[in-house]
Structure 1
Amino acid sequence: MSVSVFAHPFLGALLGDAEVAACFSAEADIAAMLRFEAALAQAEAEAGVIPNAAAEAIVAAVSRMRIAPSDLAGAVARDGVVVPELVRLLRAAVGEPHAGLAHKGSTSQDVIDTSLFLRLKAAADILAARLEALMAAFDRLDAEAGALMLCGHTRMQRARPVSLAHKVAGWRDPLARHRARLPDVAMNLFRVQLGGAVGNRAELGAAAQAVADGLADRLGLLRAPRATHAERDGVVAFGHWCTLVCGTLGKFGADICLMAQNEVGEVTIAGGGGSSAMPEKNNPVAAEILVTLARFAAAQQGGLDQALVHENERSGAAWTLEWMILPQLVVAAGAATRTALALVAALRFPVAADQNGSPT
């Protein structure tokens, strides 16, 4: 065991997702925060808040900075957030006479949240592409074997026959609904965060909206009429979306576990899990992992809901809780989509079944 199975040297291959997890690396976070600072300077120069020469100096400094996570660790333990030290290093790199204009009108949460939203957007693109691939895989399965008749079960008891197509629709159609609702989730999350000290953009005066819009456009995020430092419903909704994806794929995994039982024999899984004690076994590992990830995500979502409760204009406690839970939820959704794609490709159904739904 380890603190995180997702990053474990060997459990990560089973439960993790390297592609999605890369969105949450410290290096990706640092790069996104520096992008914020460069884009902020450019937007402020465009709006007349700082001189063009200052923006050019800040952008040049960002382009040549090489910050390692270890350069920030000690200061984070002291300050509770990474941005004060990041800005100190940035200002040192900019030098006089423009150093003091770096990070102007912004605050730590603006930088950290915008970095998060940029990286969540990248993760959402990966997950959306995988949902589309899964729907296509289920469509192929339906076309190839959908006419196969199986024994239906209700409340774990034998019921009337159903077609494999009926089963596949129950696995595929919820994924289509999740894919369709993602743009609405994104609309409320992938927005620029710029509010300044207490979220009212007071430090930027009359130029505040122009700066925020210019920043959003440069980063490829949606514009925002105001900051949402203490309004975390967008973040929590994205967690819910990931939990729904995991839950839907967990149902798929649970069905395959039952269908693959030796005494049922409705499906076999190519390249399944071996046993150290019984070499003849073929354990439904991928299907079981889908069930595990669904249950894990559901448990984590309750904790993420707690991050909705901010005191006044910002809560350090609620905000930090997000950092602990949200990445695990998103990586779980990544692992579930990755595992499900491999599982669909490994399913092998009998070519015929009798009229009662029993394989022949």
Structure 2
Amino acid sequence: MAEPFDWGLLEPAGAVGVPAGDDRVLAAMVAVEEALAGAWDELDGTAGRPGRRALTFDAGAIDRDRLAAGARKAGVPIIALVEQLREQAGEDAGRVHRGATSQDIVDSALVLVSRDCLSRARDALAAAAAELADRAIRSRATPLLARTLTQPAEPTTLGASVASWLDAVVSALEVVDRLDFPVQLGGAVGTGAAFARLADRDDAPQTLRAGLAARLGLTDPGRAWHTDRGPVLAIADASARVAAVGGRIGRDLGLAARDGVLLPATGGGSSAMPHKQNPVDAVLLTANGLRAPGLLTTVHAAALSSDARPAGEWHAEWQAWRGLLRIAVESADVLAHAVADLVVTDGVGHGVQADAVDLAAAWAVVDAAVARYQAHVASDREVNR
């Protein structure tokens, strides 16, 4: 078996991004094929009949080398995947991939991976927000000299600065919470004609799509979106937003560490200067924030689709889409660790006279940010009740 291309050597937070890795994408593709077979059984009325087994597949048994070779030959991995799934199905091989096209499986699988990745990112963002709300309250009266354009500006408080981070994280949470994760099922050219023909039912495309969505826990968009990449753009934009928020806070944390104001309790050293304790979390957050825009540009460029399936745009989208998911998960996880790992030093208010700080204004910023955070938490609890 070929060695994995990317196992984290140059991706310091790579282990966190595993939910977007090849094995997870493959497992999602297999899950889509399995769910499609189940949706067909429901449509045919054969589900649960004596002697009618539900099709299940073993993603771990897929020959990865054979799959990669097939992907190179066909330009998509699904043809080679279906061959192996039909081998697993044996005499039921004809029930695999009925009427579907490669884009149905790839898109639906990447949406599944997106849902799981951004759910994990959301949990980490929520943890970061809780920590930031607590820190904003505890440091609401701690003097701090604010900077604008890198230069000393006016006195404020550490709490007000932390509150601005909290606001950004809550905004990212709101964006993620608004996301929709739609299934894709349209057949060869998006019309679902093969489904209707195979089932001899005009409503087969709609019924199968609804059944597939229900089995996968995705939404039914009521249509195929093969060349309307709006759902992908929304997911990519939200992922980039998470990276941007992490990068912005990472920049602030890096500068605060440089100034000796906020330091990480734990962190990396230097191969040449053993006395150093580099703010590693801040560096990783900043790096991911810088990486995301290029990937997002690719996804947006690929949205200029054509025909019933474009030659190249769809293919260009895959890795950029997955890369944004990986960065979002990494950034959210690193951010949660970074804000919990902060140490406020004695130099935080150096050179600032306490009576020079407009505490009322700073406290108002803290109170507003915390109130907004608490309202978001209450709304989330109500939704999930």
TM over 0.5: yes
Name the counterpart of 1:17. Answer: 14
Letter in 1 for 2:273: M
Q: Is the CA contact 1:6–1:331 (under 8 Å) kept in the aligned structure 2? A: no
CA shift for structure 1 position 49: 7.8
SS class of match (1:59)? coil
Name the counterpart of 1:59. Answer: 55
SS class of match (1:93)? helix
SS class of match (1:231)? coil
Name the counterpart of 2:369. Answer: none
Name the counterpart of 1:192. Answer: 183
Cα distance, 1:68–1:24 mapped onto 2, change above 3 Å: farther
Cα distance, 1:357–1:258 mapped onto 2, change above 3 Å: farther
Moved more, 132-141 or 333-342: 333-342
SS class of match (1:158)? strand
SS class of match (2:324)? helix
Question: Which one of 89, 97, 110 corresponds to residue 116 of structure 1?
Answer: 110
CA shift for structure 1 position 89: 2.2
Matches within 5 A, 1:104-143: 104-143=98-137
Q: Is the CA contact 1:83–1:108 (under 8 Å) kept in the aligned structure 2? A: yes
SS class of match (1:120)? helix
Q: Is the CA contact 1:45–1:55 (under 8 Å) kept in the aligned structure 2? A: no
Q: Partners of 1:128 and 1:306 in 2: how far apart?
A: 27
Query: 1:229-277: CA deviations, max 9, x gaps?
Result: 111122122112121211122121211222222xx33222222332333
CA shift for structure 1 position 297: 0.8
CA shift for structure 1 position 307: 1.3
Cα distance, 1:50–1:91 mapped onto 2, change above 3 Å: farther
Tell me, yes or no, if structure 1 residue 216 matches structure 2 residue 213.
yes
Q: Is the CA contact 1:162–1:357 (under 8 Å) kept in the aligned structure 2? A: no
Q: Partners of 1:35 and 1:53 in 2: how far apart?
A: 22
Name the counterpart of 1:70. Answer: 65
Moved more, 174-183 or 40-49: 40-49
Query: 1:40-83: CA deviations, max 9, x gaps?
Result: 122122222878779945605x2598213223121111111111
Among all aligned residue pairs of Structure 1 and Structure 2, give the percentage whose two residues are the same amino acid: 31
Moved more, 45-54 or 283-292: 45-54
Tell me, yes or no, if structure 1 residue 239 matches structure 2 residue 236.
yes
Tell me, yes or no, if structure 1 residue 183 matches structure 2 residue 208.
no
Question: Which one of 310, 333, 342 corresponds to residue 315 of structure 1?
Answer: 310
Q: Is the CA contact 1:65–1:93 (under 8 Å) kept in the aligned structure 2? A: no
Query: 1:87-146: CA deviations, max 9, x gaps?
Result: 2222233334x4333211111111111111111111011011011000011112123323
Question: Which one of 274, 277, 284 corresponds to residue 272 of structure 2?
Answer: 277
SS class of match (1:222)? coil
Query: 1:155-213: CA deviations, max 9, x gaps?
Result: 2221110111110111111110111122322x2xx111110010111112212211111
Cα distance, 1:52–1:71 mapped onto 2, change above 3 Å: farther
Matches within 5 A, 1:257-296: 257-261=254-258, 264-296=259-291
| Number of residues of Structure 1 aligned to a counterpart in Structure 2 | 344
Tell me, yes or no, if structure 1 residue 156 matches structure 2 residue 153.
no
Q: Is the CA contact 1:81–1:108 (under 8 Å) kept in the aligned structure 2? A: yes
Moved more, 131-140 or 98-107: 98-107
Name the counterpart of 2:195. Answer: 204
Moved more, 251-260 or 126-135: 251-260
Q: Is the CA contact 1:20–1:126 (under 8 Å) kept in the aligned structure 2? A: no
Letter in 2 for 1:7: W
Q: Is the CA contact 2:143–2:349 (under 8 Å) kept in the aligned structure 1? A: yes
Name the counterpart of 2:321. Answer: 326
Cα distance, 1:113–1:222 mapped onto 2, change above 3 Å: same
Q: Partners of 1:200 and 1:162 in 2: how far apart?
A: 60
Q: Partners of 2:59 and 2:349 in 1: how far apart?
A: 66
Cα distance, 1:47–1:295 mapped onto 2, change above 3 Å: same
Tell me, yes or no, if structure 1 residue 353 matches structure 2 residue 349.
yes
Name the counterpart of 1:8. Answer: 8
SS class of match (2:322)? helix
Structure-2-length-normalised TM-score: 0.82
Q: Partners of 2:126 and 2:99 in 1: how far apart?
A: 41
Query: 1:333-354: CA deviations, max 9, x gaps?
Result: 2222222222212221135736
